[in-house]
Structure 1
Amino acid sequence: MISILQFKASNTAMERQNSELYLRNCQIMMENERLRKKAQRLNQENQALLSELRRKLAAINAKRKPEFEGDMGSSSASDQMEANKRQALE
């Protein structure tokens, strides 16, 4: 049988271990909260950068569109001139 002294010593060791585990758990929860907030800030920053990138790409595409249409127009004009030359030769 376990003596009273052994039981008290065992109980004290368990209480100490329980206290250590409790403190470690509190530290982990605090670190988890800190990391959650950091992840949230990084996500917000990422969303802002993505939005800025999309705005810049839209501006670039808006500038390129008239140039592209102009190139097609000149290409069509040169195609038309070639067709006119062929007709004149026939």
Structure 2
Amino acid sequence: MERLNTKLYVENCYIMIENERLRKKAELLNQENQQLMFQLKQKLSKTKNPNGSNNGNNHCSSSSAPGQ
């Protein structure tokens, strides 16, 4: 019985370590996903402007704010 408890304890430790590793990886992937979404939105907002300017001086658009 003692050996089984020890084995389960060690297995549980490995699972917790792997869980933490996967949690960190998921966090990094989420950050990468958010960055890619931000870049995609920037590209899409540039393609909506037919003149190619993105400084907001040529159009009166409430959807394009400087710095976004």
TM-score category, normalised to shorter length? 0.7 to 0.9
**Structure 1 residue 59 and structure 2 residue 46: aligned?**
yes
Q: Aligned residue for 2:27?
A: 40
Larger Cα-atom Rg: 1
Paired letter, 1:54: K
State the TM-score, normalizing by the size of structure 2.
0.72
**How many residues matched?**
51
Paired letter, 1:26: C
Matches of 2:2 and 2:50, distance apart in 1? 72
Matches of 2:39 and 2:13, distance apart in 1? 39
Which residue of 14, 21, 28 maps to 2:15?
28
Q: Which runs of 5+ in 2 are unaligned?
A: 52-68
Name the structure where helix makes up a greater proportion of residues: 1
RMSD (Å), alpha carbons? 1.0
Moved over 6 A (4+): none
Cα shift readout 1:6-55 (whole Å, capped 9, x = no counterpart)? xxxxxxxx110000000000000000000000000000000000000000
Deviation at 1:62, TM superposition (A): 1.4
Matches of 2:18 and 2:33, distance apart in 1? 22
